[in-house]
Structure 1
Amino acid sequence: MTSPVDPTPRPQAEHWRSGLSTSPLVSCAIVLGLLYLAREVLVPVALAAMLSLLIAPLVRRLRHIGLPATPAVLTAVGSLCAGMAALAVMLGLQLVDMTASLPQYESSIRAKVATVKELTVDRMDSLQGTAGRLFKHLSEPERPTPSRNAASRLKANINGSTNGERVQVEVYPPPPTSLSVLSHLAGSLWEPLATAGIVLIVMLFTLLEHESLRDRLLRLIGGHDLRASTEVLNDVGARLSRYFVSQFAVNFGVGAVVWLALWAIDLPHAMLWGVLTALMRFVPYIGVLIAAVPAVLLGAAVEPGWTLMLLTLTAFLVVEVLAAQVVEPLLYGHSTGLSPLSVVIAAIFWSALWGPVGLLLATPLTLCLLVAGRYVPSLKFLDILLGDGPSLTRPQRFYQRTLSGDAHDLIAQARAYLKKKSFASYCDNIVLPALQLAARDHELGLISPEQAQRMQQVVVDVIGALDGKPRRRQRGEAHTVLDLSSPGVALRRQREAEMGRWQGPLSVPTGSLNLCIGQGSIGDEMMTELLTRALRDAGLDARHMSVTDTDAAPPEARTDSVARVFIQSGESEAATQTLVLQLQQDLPQANLIQVQLPAWVTGQATHTQAPPGVMVVESFRDAVNCALEADQAKRGSTAKG
């Protein structure tokens, strides 16, 4: 009697399976090996797929005017083949004509080479001096003096006497016949013609079976979720088709402009260089350089002077800069969603894998990987590595820069942000979420005291640099700030050092002051200082005060000058209520506004109930809007009165 089979897997088998499932490096190596070994099959298929995306808009347009599917596809493919054949014939004729005209430029080329040699090699030789020539002489080995026997043998060879020695005979092959030339030409053209035929056939059937292929891909990549799968395919198809059509239009437009520019400066074979520029521009970054170099060299060879060469170089530079910086951003944006570094690395990778065809297909293939990374969770790393979007959010970047002590980068980013938005928005959207990350790590004990001090110093430097006034740090100031252990107090003392003890004059118009009062803790003082700066950034007269400052106000300070008081929610509800009662007695005309920021900033588990007669705001932006709306309403009522 056999024992029943244990349904639970053995530990060895489970470990083996987990090892297979958690080996991404092995999977990547297998995929790369298949891509390389199967390149003879994959390259034509990839080319056919990309070309089908290029002419797909033409097929759709022919379908819209009433042509059936098959005639529309045949017409589009026939137009493409006719255009490519005409282009190849034109290039061939231009190359033959240029080859025939090269001998007449020989004298000019020799003169230019001699000039360049005189300016470079000869000049360097003259700079070497006696020491260089001596070193060269010493480095050369001494030549042995020919012996008397060797001299006699040499004389005998000259006189024709070999004395029985062997004579070297060279055998030359017979001149090639017409048949051998044709066979060699056919052998060299067979492989590219065969590849072109395969690409044409695959492209034709891809366009004819477009709907069927799409359904098969939907079933393959996710038949259980048709919505997500359809979104992926539509995104890939639309993005690639838009990229190909736009790039095709821009490249051949650039080629036409280069052709006209070179024709205007009278460079021979201008059409050839224009077509070559249009074709080579499909190669990222270096394509225009590849097309410009032979044209510039031809310009140097045509005439004795250097004017034509400089005009040719200027034409290429001007046209390429205008196309890259003006036309392309207006037509399809600054990029396709790929970072510039990923485009360069992709060009190197695909060219090493598939050769010149891989270089041409590098950008679209990488774009497919980028879209896959955006929709497939397991491939999310591709979106992070290849995309041009920020890898870290703004709060994460702020927190990371404070940990590393990089205040200069944060200041530059903050100033760029403040050109479009307010300081209150900067605090709400960047500073406070970054402090949330810091508070979470601090609670887990992941931040050392040294890191905490460095972070406080960075926050002081960043916030202090955003007031629009250049300020030079005094000697010993950094130690003072670190000893305070309160960035809010340090920032307040900076303003007091510039504007006085009360951060401005005391004789101000009635109802123009906004007091921001903190209750003494590190978080309260920091949030109060940020609120003060947010109000001042909006053009309001705001002062940062502590609880003890309300009892030490000078006699010349008038209570009717205070329009409103912003109270930062403290850690004690009773202390907040006591402060509210005191302010209601001392400043009965002022509006009291309690700022209840998120609990991770104030240190409270939950928000407290606001006392009667106190307005509540939950962000810096709401506080600033509240003050601005009140002042606007006051000015409106004054104007009516």
Structure 2
Amino acid sequence: MALLYFGRDVLIPITLAFIFSFLIAPFVRALRHLGLGQTLSVCTGVLLVTVTLLAIGAVIVQQVGAMGASLPQYQDTIASKIEKLDELTRGTIGSLGGPAGQLIEHFTQDNGGSAQPVLQSDGSVKTPVLVEIHEPALKPFQLLGKVVASVWPPLETAGIVFVVLIFVLLEHESLRDRFIRLAGGGDLRATTIAVNDAGERLSRFFISQFLVNLATGLSVWLGLTLIGLSQALLWGTMTAVLRFIPYLGVWMAAFCATLLAAAIDPGWSMALMTLGLFLAVEIIVAQTIEPKLYGHTTGLSPLSVVVSAIFWSWIWGPVGLVLSTPLTLCLVVAGRYIRALKVLEIMFGELPALTMPQNFYQRALSGDAHEIITSAKRYMQHKTLAEYCDGVLLPALHLAHFDLKDQSITPEEEEKVTSSIISVIEALSGNPKWWKKRKRSSVLAGGIGRQLREQRISVSGEWQGSFDVPAGSVVLSIGLGKQSAELATEILVRILREQKIDARSRAADELDLAPPPGASPELVSIIILVSVDPLNDCEQMTAMLEGIHERIPHAKQFVLLLPSPFENPDLKTCVFPGADHVSRSYDDVLHSCQIAMKG
């Protein structure tokens, strides 16, 4: 930070040059493809930037001069409105101190140009003579020196920027190769991908931001022209420029334009229309155009944008405020590909620090089922319950299983996880009473599956529904092996029922019992055998497939294998020739059931 602060006079121009290079690079490449050559293309691109900046500066200077010349015409209007505001605020406006108070006093008091008479001690009245102190007229060389001293710093910065910009564009390929060698010359493929992605991401962001800000400025200019506000071009230009400052820039322009409208119009209609125009344009741009154009390509979280704006404005002042988002974006892209800078991507990137399964388990350890359910419903706006269980719920259950196996989870945390999992599954499967407290059970020892099954049976009946249904409309799910298969089976039943499939479950040891009264084999169209430990359940699965085929030969037999993704078992040794279909996810078995039921 000391280097950034004390070296800002050198670092700011160089940084501006590199930022401009990302903006101009696509244009330079396009000119090179037209056959202009490297040097001519670079000079043309830099000349375009120079002309653009000079035009913007000329517009701002001309418009500010015109506004300054017209302000005395609005003094009476300003004074009248300040007096009204002072009355409404019971003197608060008039009591302001500092520059604001002096400005208000200038507009509301008649300072005249003559001195007031003063009563002397002898009874006579005399009028003081006003004395004005003037500095002696400057000599030509002194005047020239003051002019040069005032314009030299910005000219010096602009000169450094354009010189560095020209050489950066001329040495673009050389700089890229040097960075690749410096960052990871041992793995050219990975480093090249990283550099290309960073360059494309930054160029796309800068170009998109420039075009969006330009369009916003044009919209404000046209809108203010229709409203009738003077110097509309100035406020359109200021909007386009200040909008590079995140969050605050556009409202700085809106505030100044609204003040001018209030000064011009004796009423308040013009000020309200001006503020409404800025509000409408910003809402449309920020909520509609930006998210579709580059809202999800920057990779920055909203909080990181605010924090970076505070930090860089503290280090580099107003220029740092404008450059805060590009600089932070560069750091995040670097953190994505450079391991030593990974902390920057975690802190400032838009990607969540935890995966969804990790977040599920972390919130379950805290007993916060409401947040999990909210996140799940947001996820399921575009996904199905089966996809959520495959991608989030099952990996989270495996995380809990490993902690339980290693005995790194306390009984209190185990109870919180159990309660959260039950609440989430019941809420997502449509149970309106999911918030009720359940009895204590072990997190993955089978108790959760049994509790969920009992809860469902309490609603649908002992046999999980009526047997007065059409033939071939029931899907029977059977869990094998470990007790944790009960939970996997219960989740499958709820997924199928959520899709209006009459799914019911039976335990493996219940198959030898007498069938329920009124039940017949013809009701069952599909039987799904569920295993969470396929390697150990392989022999039992094969035997059950043969036995079920003898009892219910017309029913299709599906196999659902749900092994732990962390153990990576070799499932090639698990072959089930008697199965009609083998699935390894809830989503796949759901689609297979839907196709089979339609057939």
Whether the TM-score (by the shorter chain) exceeds 0.5 is yes
Query: Which residue of 61, 64, 72 corresponds with 2:41?
Result: 72
Q: Displacement of 1:585 after TM fit?
A: 5.8
- 2:376 paired with 1:414: yes
Of residues 114-123 and 356-365 in structure 1, the stretch that sits farther from structure 2 once superposed is 114-123
Match of 2:561 in 1: 596
- 2:44 paired with 1:84: no
Match of 2:407 in 1: 445
Match of 1:381 in 2: 343
Query: Which residue of 175, 181, 200 corresponds with 1:213?
Result: 175
**Structure 1 contact 456–485 (Cα < 8 Å) conserved:** no
Query: For the residues of structure 1 that align with 2:416 and 2:216, how far apart are their CA atoms?
Result: 53
Query: For the residues of structure 2 that align with 1:215 and 1:610, how far apart are their CA atoms?
Result: 52
- 2:12 paired with 1:50: no
C-alpha spacing 1:602/1:502, structure 2 compared with 1 (3 Å): farther
Query: For the residues of structure 2 that align with 1:486 and 1:607, how far apart are their CA atoms?
Result: 31
Match of 2:595 in 1: 629
CA displacement 1:198-229 (0-9 Å, x = unmatched): 11222122223333333333333333333333
**Structure 1 contact 281–288 (Cα < 8 Å) conserved:** yes
Unaligned runs of 5+ in 1: 1-31, 126-154, 162-169, 634-641
- 2:233 paired with 1:268: no
Query: For the residues of structure 1 that align with 2:258 and 2:288, how far apart are their CA atoms?
Result: 24
- 2:7 paired with 1:38: yes
Residue 101 of structure 1 aligns with an amino acid whose one-letter code is: S
Match of 1:329 in 2: 291
TM-score calculated relative to the size of structure 2: 0.86
The number of residue pairs the alignment matches comes to 563
| Percent identical | 45
Residue 538 of structure 1 aligns with an amino acid whose one-letter code is: Q
TM-score calculated relative to the size of structure 1: 0.80
Tell me, what secondary structure is at the counterpart of 2:439?
A: helix
**Structure 1 contact 599–605 (Cα < 8 Å) conserved:** no
Match of 1:531 in 2: 492
Query: For the residues of structure 1 that align with 2:56 and 2:548, how far apart are their CA atoms?
Result: 85
Q: Displacement of 1:442 after TM fit?
A: 1.3
Query: Which residue of 113, 118, 121 corresponds with 1:158?
Result: 121
Query: Which residue of 502, 509, 515 corresponds with 2:463?
Result: 502
CA displacement 1:39-61 (0-9 Å, x = unmatched): 11111111111122222223223
Of residues 201-210 and 571-580 in structure 1, the stretch that sits farther from structure 2 once superposed is 571-580
C-alpha spacing 1:519/1:69, structure 2 compared with 1 (3 Å): closer
Query: Which residue of 168, 174, 177 corresponds with 2:137?
Result: 177
**Structure 2 contact 363–372 (Cα < 8 Å) conserved:** yes
Match of 2:29 in 1: 60
CA displacement 1:90-118 (0-9 Å, x = unmatched): 21121111111111111111111111122
Residue 180 of structure 2 aligns with an amino acid whose one-letter code is: L
Structure of larger gyration radius: 1
Query: Which residue of 555, 567, 586 corresponds with 1:620?
Result: 586
Q: Displacement of 1:608 after TM fit?
A: 8.9
- 2:69 paired with 1:100: yes
**Structure 2 contact 395–565 (Cα < 8 Å) conserved:** no
**Structure 1 contact 523–602 (Cα < 8 Å) conserved:** no
Q: Displacement of 1:605 after TM fit?
A: 11
Query: For the residues of structure 2 that align with 1:73 and 1:574, how far apart are their CA atoms?
Result: 72
Aligned-pair Cα RMSD in Å: 3.2
Residue 490 of structure 1 aligns with an amino acid whose one-letter code is: Q
Tell me, what secondary structure is at the counterpart of 1:478?
A: coil
Residue 438 of structure 2 aligns with an amino acid whose one-letter code is: A
Query: For the residues of structure 2 that align with 1:601 and 1:211, how far apart are their CA atoms?
Result: 43
Residue 177 of structure 1 aligns with an amino acid whose one-letter code is: A
Tell me, what secondary structure is at the counterpart of 1:121?
A: coil
Query: For the residues of structure 2 that align with 1:52 and 1:572, how far apart are their CA atoms?
Result: 62
Q: Displacement of 1:280 after TM fit?
A: 0.4
Query: Which residue of 487, 493, 512 corresponds with 2:448?
Result: 487
Residue 508 of structure 1 aligns with an amino acid whose one-letter code is: V
Query: For the residues of structure 2 that align with 1:256 and 1:612, how far apart are their CA atoms?
Result: 69
Query: Which residue of 187, 190, 193 corresponds with 2:152?
Result: 190
**Structure 1 contact 254–323 (Cα < 8 Å) conserved:** yes
Of residues 325-334 and 435-444 in structure 1, the stretch that sits farther from structure 2 once superposed is 325-334
Of residues 63-72 and 393-402 in structure 1, the stretch that sits farther from structure 2 once superposed is 63-72
Match of 1:543 in 2: 504
Of residues 588-597 and 568-577 in structure 1, the stretch that sits farther from structure 2 once superposed is 568-577
Q: Displacement of 1:361 after TM fit?
A: 1.2
Residue 596 of structure 1 aligns with an amino acid whose one-letter code is: L
